[in-house]
Amino acid sequence: MPDVKLVNVTKTFAKGRIVAVDHIDLHVRNGEYLTLLGPSGCGKTTTLRMIAGLIEPDEGMIYIGDKLVTGLPPEDRDIGYVFQQYALFPHMDVWDNVTYGPTVKAWIEEKRDRIGREMLEMVKLYDRSDAVPRELSGGMMQRVALARALAAGARLLLLDEPLGALDAKIRFELRYELRKLVNDLGLTAVHVTHDQGEAMAISDRIALMKKGKILQVGTPQELYMKPKHVFVANFIGESNFLEGYVVETDDRGCIIELRGGLIAHAIDKTRRKGERVVLAIRPETLSIEKGHKKVLNGLPGYIERFRFEGTDVRYEVTLKNEDTIVIVRPALMGEWINEGESVTARFSPDKSYLFTYPTAGLRRELALE
Amino acid sequence: MKGSSRRKLIARTAIFAVLTSVGIFVLLPTFYLISFTLTQWTEIYTDVFVNPLIGDANWQQILRFSALSFRLSFVAVALDFLFGVPLAYFLARKRFFGKAFLEDIITLSLVIPTSGFGVATLLTWTGISGLGALIGKGIFEASYVIPFINVPFLMLIVHVALTFPYIVQTLQAKLEDLEPAFERASRTLGASAFTTFRKIIFPLSLPALLSGGVLAFARSLGETGATMVVASVHTTAPMAIVRWVSEFKLATASFLGFILIIVATVAILSVEFLTRRGGTFKIPKFFLAFRIEDKILKREKFLSGKSRWIKDIASLSAVAIVVVLPVIVVLASVGTYWSVDPDTGLFRGSVLYQLFGPPNYFNALMKATSTSFLVAAIATYIAACIAIPSVYLIERYRFGRILRYLLRIPLIVPTSALGLSVLLLWGPSGLRLAMPGIWLIIITHMVFSVPVVVESTIAGYEGSEIRMYENASRTLGATPYDAIETVSLPMLKRGIFAGVILSFTRSLGETGATFLVMGSDVTVPPLVVNMAEALAIPAALFASAYLIALSLLLLLLFRVVVRR
Ligand SMILES: Nc1ncnc2c1ncn2[C@@H]1O[C@H](COP(=O)(O)OP(=O)(O)O)[C@@H](O)[C@H]1O
Ligand SMILES: [Mg+2]
């Protein structure tokens, strides 16, 4: 029943020219399902491989259940690792794959056979014991890989994009199956993905990474409701960003002057007058009305583009100041508004966030790599 | 309509021309010895088994020489595996300073003219200026035989040096291809590095190991140049062919050649057949009986610990001792022997005296050099002209697969058997197309040059997505001929160049077959053997150093072409 601690862990490649993981600290609690989320190339796999012992950090320490494991080879860490392409041994059948861990750990035959059987029954593939990997579908291979990792007796499960190679439908099914399994067995899991929807659906907590750093760790709700960083606000869900200056502060919050003289109210009380800020508003929290209205936090503009997307409709609105914002409304609520019409987009002060304007510039800060 | 049928006619004619050339210049000489032996069977039988003068003495000799050859090859290949496997793993998995250099040394072993290398090894182990300098006399007698395995020491290390690259290169390529996730998965499931090797890497790369093993075995079985130099009192099968031909004992020689060709062909075809099926093997279960498995696992766990670098050091030292050391010794010895024999202090034993003094080996060497280069250039040129269209046929047509198997055979048939085959087919006792001399050498070298260029070009072909680019070019409006000219050929260029250089070096270093067909047009490698046999050691030294320097140059060229 281990927890995992990473302290100041760093890994570079190519003689230090690529900093894959940059001084990160992370605590995965015992029995927790934690997801490492981030755009591709941000260092998720490298982090996972360091926990597994497949590569060693340049700096920093890794603890699994209070034990310092830095320097310990992977076979002595009691972990289960599920690879993106599953890495099922092509020259062994399903049974030999699943019992590989017990075999190389020289467990007694009885125990090996019992566990092999249990694991295969658990993933509902016991009747395919004699099949070789290339005869299985993607979903089946995924389940064999999971059974194999668990059969080795791991209490800590490391999953590197375990659903990444599957079709969308199967991916959806398997993500809940996976979550339930880990729960039932009481394992600790670290799951790597670049798919924020998957991360939100499956995790107890998410650690959001960018360029080798962890930007924020928290429950899916926390990351969605209280992003600490513009990048988080953009990567989890979607956000509109409007630049401006704080022109007034009072005991309820502050007033911001956006580009082109538009005015917005926010409830953030930590801002100073004159500060340069970015206002973030989620598309699904904006409402839209025909015509230009003088209301609190009403932004006048016209509809540049309208898209029907199934459950939702999506408007791209060009504001008076030439900024563009996106508004998403449920498709079956209210009437649709045509392209070219004048509208007012409106948001409530408590559903928007302010960020200090990033020193590197907004575009740089939002870039995926 | 008319244009297309004319095009078809041209295509058919071209295919026919290519197939005929391959048939006449490559396959016919390879297999002629077999048909010769069968058609002349009564004569051969009489000569070998019931000779009126000596009874079955010839047969007894064939048995003795073959036994030595097989023993030698088996032990050499076993040592190749012992050192080659860790080395291949090391090269495939690690990045380190000097890796390219190490790979060059391994390639050097493949391209080095063997007779020169033989002189180098002989000098290193038996001469006073080699390792002997440390103790004041040669380390071994040239005739020293290792007890138990009953194999001459010098022959063994020469064969290991010349054959281990086949294991290293095939296995390294396979390991680099192998999905690293398999290894990682095994480690995370609790297997140590050694266990992972035994249970995952080994079975997955067994086909590569087997084909590397067959290549090494065949090369060892057929090796002549270096073997003749270090042979002392011993005789191997291919050496016997050379000697018997020079004594006009053609019947006995062809029977032995026949045996060697059959063995080599059966070996390569059975490995091809085994590795085709499925690509991997199941290891029999009884090995895994739990009791032993338990002990093995513990051993492996121990070996995977801190002591694992021992195997790397051991195999690196082996390479240093059998390959690098002789090369350095021979290059350095030219200096020590330059103006005086270091043993006796006499000028008569110096390089200068033997080259430019009364023995006048310099003239002979220069003449041999020009013959060697002429042969290598012409044989390689014609071979390339036949090989490139052959590659096209191999990749495009269903019979291509068969053609490719057949073309592998000349690569592993002992060259002295090949030379004999050519001699019997085209020479004075056959069709009388060419007398022993430069043209017969060229025809002989073409037999292996064509397959060398084909293999190298195909290696380039299979590595890239040429088919896809060709299709792209077709969809953009190119005719098949345009597509080949503008897309395939430029992309294949590197593989072709590499093949051309390899074929050129191989021709330059070839000894066994050349001996049989050269007549008075001596090339450099046989000249070196003759010098060594005439005990003109300083001259042999110089010629070897000269050959090795040439091959180093070609290696450099090869490297520029391959690694750009
Ligand atoms: N073995 C390696 N050698 C060199 N660079 C590497 C290696 N592994 C990863 N990298 C680099 O480190 C960065 C992080 O990679 P990775 O951890 O695989 O990202 P992710 O899994 O988040 O997509 C990338 O820029 C990648 O190119
Ligand atoms: Mg990754």
Q: What is the DSSP letter of B153?
A: H
Option in B188, B200, B294 nearest A106 (CB): B294
Cα(A43) to centroid(ligand 1), Å: 6
Q: Which domains does chain A have, with CATH numbers?
A: 4-233 (3.40.50.300), 239-366 (2.40.50.140)
Residue A167 pLDDT exceeds 90: no
A118-129 as b/e, with b when 16 or more CB fall inside 10 Å?
ebbebbebbebb
Domain-embedded: residue B434: yes
Taking CA atoms, what residue in A is nearest to B281? A91
Position A203: which residue type? S
Residue B277 pLDDT exceeds 70: no
| Selection from A98, A216, A229 nearest residue A152 by Cα | A98
The angle subtended at Cα B414 by Cα B237 and Cα B548, nearest 5°, is: 100
Domain-embedded: residue B147: yes
| Selection from B405, B171, B167 nearest residue B267 by Cα | B405
| Selection from A11, A37, A12, A24 nearest residue A160 by Cα | A37
pLDDT of residue B151: 86
Taking CA atoms, what residue in A is nearest to B305? A73
Residue B1 pLDDT exceeds 90: no
Contacts of B171 (CB under 8 A, 6+ apart): B84, B85, B88, B89, B92, B205, B208, B209, B212
CATH number at B72 reads 1.10.3720.10
pLDDT of residue B72: 95
Contacts of B504 (CB under 8 A, 6+ apart): B376, B377, B380, B554
The response to whether residue A44 sits with its C-beta less than 6 Å from ligand 1 reads yes
Residue that wins the pLDDT comparison between B431 and A98: A98
* Contact predicate A28/A36, CB 8 Å: no
Domain-embedded: residue B342: no
The arithmetic mean of pLDDT across residues A118-127, rounded, is: 92
The pLDDT tens digits for B76-85 are 999 999 999 9
Asked if A104's CB is within 8 angstroms of B191's CB, the reply is: yes
Residue B286 pLDDT exceeds 60: no
Q: Quick one: what percent of chain B has pLDDT higher than 70?
A: 93
B507-530 as b/e, with b when 16 or more CB fall inside 10 Å?
bbbbbbbbbbbbbebbbbbbbbbb
Residue B368 pLDDT exceeds 90: yes
| Selection from A262, A159, A240, A149 nearest residue A202 by Cα | A159
Residues of chain A with C-beta less than 8 angstroms from the C-beta of B179: 85, 87
* Contact predicate B73/B238, CB 8 Å: no
The arithmetic mean of pLDDT across residues B125-149, rounded, is: 73
Say if A13 is an interface residue toward chain B (CB within 8 Å).
Answer: no
Q: What is the DSSP string of A206-239?
A: EEEEETTEEEEEE-HHHHHHS-SSHHHHHHSS--
Q: What is the DSSP letter of B272?
A: H
Q: Where are the alpha helices (DSSP H) in B130-276?
A: 153-177, 180-188, 193-196, 202-222, 225-230, 237-246, 250-276
The bridge status of strand A79-82 relative to strand A156-160 is: parallel
Pocket test for ligand 1, best of A9, A13, A56, A209 (most atoms within 8 A of CB): A13
Domain-embedded: residue B23: no
Let me know if B291 is exposed, middle or buried by CB neighbors in 10 A (0-12, 13-18, 19+): exposed
Q: Supply the mean pLDDT for chain A.
A: 92
The pLDDT tens digits for A202-251 are 999 999 999 999 999 999 999 999 999 999 999 998 899 999 999 999 88
pLDDT of residue B287: 53
pLDDT of residue B350: 83
Position A326: which residue type? V
| Selection from A358, A279, A359, A356 nearest residue A319 by Cα | A279
Reading the block at residue A243, the tokens are 């630049």
Give dist(CA B454, CA B496) in Å, integer.
Answer: 8
Residue that wins the pLDDT comparison between A44 and B211: A44
Cα(A9) to centroid(ligand 1), Å: 15
Domain-embedded: residue B363: no
The response to whether residue A46 sits with its C-beta less than 6 Å from ligand 1 reads yes
Neighbours of A49 (CB within 10 A): 23
The response to whether residue A45 sits with its C-beta less than 6 Å from ligand 1 reads yes
Range of the domain at B557: 31-131+142-336+369-563
Q: Which candidate in B184, B188, B288, B306 is best for mutational testing of the A interface (most A CBs within 10 A)?
A: B188
Atom 24 of ligand 1, nearest CA residue: A41
Q: What's the structural domain count of chain B?
A: 1
Q: How far is A274 from chain B (nearest CA, A)?
A: 54
The pLDDT tens digits for B236-266 are 999 999 999 989 888 899 999 999 999 988 8
| Distance (Å) of CA A169 to CA A143, A321, B159 | 15, 42, 59
Give dist(CA A48, CA A50) in Å, integer.
Answer: 5
Q: Which candidate in B94, B96, B187, B189 is best for mutational testing of the A interface (most A CBs within 10 A)?
A: B189
The bridge status of strand A67-68 relative to strand A59-64 is: antiparallel
| Selection from B150, B71, B100 nearest residue B555 by Cα | B100
Q: How far is B90 from chain A (nearest CA, A)?
A: 17
Let me know if B556 is exposed, middle or buried by CB neighbors in 10 A (0-12, 13-18, 19+): exposed
Q: What residues have their beta carbon closer than 5 A to ion ligand 2?
A: A 45
Domain-embedded: residue B159: yes
Residue that wins the pLDDT comparison between B430 and A259: A259
* Contact predicate B127/B141, CB 8 Å: no
Reading the block at residue A264, the tokens are 């917005």
Let me know if B200 is exposed, middle or buried by CB neighbors in 10 A (0-12, 13-18, 19+): buried
The bridge status of strand A33-37 relative to strand A188-193 is: parallel
The bridge status of strand A59-64 relative to strand A253-258 is: unpaired
pLDDT of residue B285: 56
Q: Which candidate in A96, A98, A103 is best for mutational testing of the B interface (most B CBs within 10 A)?
A: A103
pLDDT of residue B487: 78
* Contact predicate A213/A22, CB 8 Å: yes
The arithmetic mean of pLDDT across residues A345-355, rounded, is: 91
Q: Quick one: what percent of chain B has pLDDT higher than 90?
A: 31
The arithmetic mean of pLDDT across residues B467-487, rounded, is: 77
Reading the block at residue A276, the tokens are 């340069």
Reading the block at residue B75, the tokens are 């032990």
Domain-embedded: residue B14: no
CA B533 to chain centre: 23
Residue that wins the pLDDT comparison between B502 and B467: B502
Sheet hosting strand A33-37, strand order edge to edge: A79-82, A156-160, A188-193, A33-37, A205-210, A213-218
Residue B135 pLDDT exceeds 80: no
| Distance (Å) of CA B266 to CA B214, B408, B413, B422 | 10, 12, 11, 21
Contacts of A108 (CB under 8 A, 6+ apart): none
Domain-embedded: residue B115: yes
User: Is the dihedral angle over the CA atoms A16, A22, A23, A27 positive or is it negative?
Assistant: negative
pLDDT of residue B478: 77
For chain A, positions 33-52, list CB contacts with chain B under 8 A: 49, 52
The pLDDT tens digits for A7-33 are 999 999 988 899 999 999 999 999 999
Residue that wins the pLDDT comparison between B268 and B418: B418
The response to whether residue A40 sits with its C-beta less than 6 Å from ligand 1 reads yes
Give dist(CA A134, CA A141) in Å, integer.
Answer: 9
